[in-house]
Amino acid sequence: MTTTLHPVARTAPSDTDARVVRRRLGPGKRIPFAFWIGPALFLALWSAGSASGLIPPAILTAPWDVAVAFQDQWVNHDLLGNVLSSLQRAVLGLTLGVVSGAVLAVVSGLSRIGESLIDGPIQIKRSVPTLALIPLFIAWFGIGQEMKVLTIALITLVPIYVHTHNGLRGIDGKYAELAETIGIGRGAFIRHIVLPGALPGFLLGLRFAVTSSMLGLVVVEQYNAVSGVGHMITLAEQYGQTDVIVVGLVIYGVFGYCADSAVRLTGRKVLAWRRTLED
């Protein structure tokens, strides 16, 4: 007597089953308000260290003293005006850098001629710290708003260009073969395949650009600024007000952290079509 083995039919897993598998094998279920757990823990450790005396005020001002200094700056020293001035510089520089970097990356990534003209100078620029160019920018543009905005723009341009260009060139060649097979033209292929495929690289570059813009903002506001958070820090340094300095550093940190969180959230929404371990 022989036994016949019948193959077991396999059905495609549902979206729910696939999500459960990704969570089991990946990082796990998403934790609510995960972005804020780390900063909250840091604040708790800072408070505990200051209260216990492990962190002397001469080393780092206590959080409650920083809160008092923040209130004083808000009421008596136009902190809101300084914050808005810094935000204006950061947004203008970041916008200019992101747009320029994305355009250059698209031209270079989609054209060999464009790559030969653009990629070399950008790679050379990567080897030259932008902050080292500030003396030249001062000689060319003076020490006004133009120098500050252009410095931030040049700092943010590089990560946008590098990651977007890498995303454009990293598209799987099989998509081009498929597009050729079904008769999709170059224009439609770029619009529907290449640019959406490069979007993750662009968003990654945007995260680096946001952080870089904060770095540039900290530096350029030390140069003859009459307003802004950096101007406030410079005055506080002259008068030995360490609590005010920490207020400025906290504001810079909040700027960068909130902007990075916004980019990450936008990336999850825009790239919802992808199935990753993040889901």
Tokens of 84: 């808005």
pLDDT at 161: 93
Tokens of 271: 């790239």
First-last CA distance in the chain: 51
Please tell me the total number of residues recorded for the chain in this structure. Answer: 279
Backbone angles phi, psi at 141, to 5 degrees: -115, 0
pLDDT at 274: 66
What pTM value is reported for the model?
0.78
Tens digit of each residue's pLDDT, the chain (279 residues) = 444 544 444 555 555 655 555 556 556 676 776 777 888 898 899 999 999 989 888 888 899 999 999 999 898 888 899 999 999 999 999 999 999 999 999 999 888 898 899 989 898 888 888 878 888 888 888 888 888 899 999 999 999 999 998 888 877 777 777 777 777 777 777 777 777 888 888 999 999 999 888 888 888 888 877 888 888 988 888 888 888 999 999 998 888 888 888 888 888 887 776 665 555
* CA atoms of 125 and 87, how far apart (whole Å): 26
* CA atoms of 276 and 159, how far apart (whole Å): 23
Q: Quote the DSSP letter at residue 117.
A: H
Contact 104, 122 (CB under 8 A): yes
pLDDT at 8: 46
pLDDT at 98: 94
pLDDT at 1: 46
13: helix, coil or strand? coil
Taking phi over 0 as left and psi of -120 to 50 as alpha, with beta for the rest, 136 belongs to alpha
